[in-house]
Amino acid sequence: MLVSKLLKVPFYYLYLKRLRKEAKGWKIPKHVGIIMDGNRRYARYKGVDDISIGHRKGAEKLEEVLSWCMEVGIKVVTVWSFSLDNFRRPPEEVAALFQLFEEKIKELKDNSTLNKKKVRVKFIGEVEKLPPKLQDEIAFVEERTGGHDNFFLNIAIAYGGREEVVEACKRFILEKAKKNLSPVEIANTLTAEALSKFMYTSDLPEPDLIIRTSGEVRLSGFLLWQSVYSEFYFCDTYWPEFREIDFLRALRDFDKRQRRFGR
């Protein structure tokens, strides 16, 4: 088994080198969304009792994947770290996740790459449902990186796609109500274009490509509104084991797609 693995290593790097070279000629998506799925299954697969180890490995993988995105010139990345449904997980797992989030967000404060690459970090979702201390850390990082405009990282936390649409509708109605419009007048001004301005990522291009790991073939509501014309790529690999080869294969697949945008 060990000999077999050692024999595969040179072939892996030769293949990786070839993909990197080919990638220079591919059309690269402006905005990539990532559903980072499989942390818990990865931990079980590795025979680890502590599920939080899988989540920690997943957080470390995100840092690596973001570096790959910047290397190929992807300007916007949106990742789903914690859904509203995840609040229903065992309390000890949720608490461990919040502790991990707080730790990783604190690391972002003095992250040299964020400053050097001018990465703006934004957290999208019902942040107000998170622990106060975690909310404070989020606000600090958003403020510190708010002036950056070279790369954009959106972290979906306490996020649900349906809830985002509902929240956008509420904000649209409240804004129109300030102008003393009647319900009928408000309804008449409601269009897809008007509502889009109230989505979490309204100031950014919609995702060209959405990647989901772990073999699940569904979006689960991720960027429900924004993904109408997105291309999808589903990868069997658990998120903590997501390799640069997997990433480049997704980009190669995107390059081969003929996008029609409903036409």
Which residues are part of the catalytic machinery?
A: 37, 86
CA distance 34 to 222: 9
DSSP conformation letters of 3-14:
HHHHHHHHHHHH
For 164, 223, 246, the CA distances from 253, given in Å and listed in that order, are 29, 21, 11
CA distance 18 to 21: 5
Whether the CB-CB separation of 152 and 119 falls below 8 Å is answered with yes
Gap between the terminal Cα atoms of the chain: 51
CA distance 186 to 194: 11
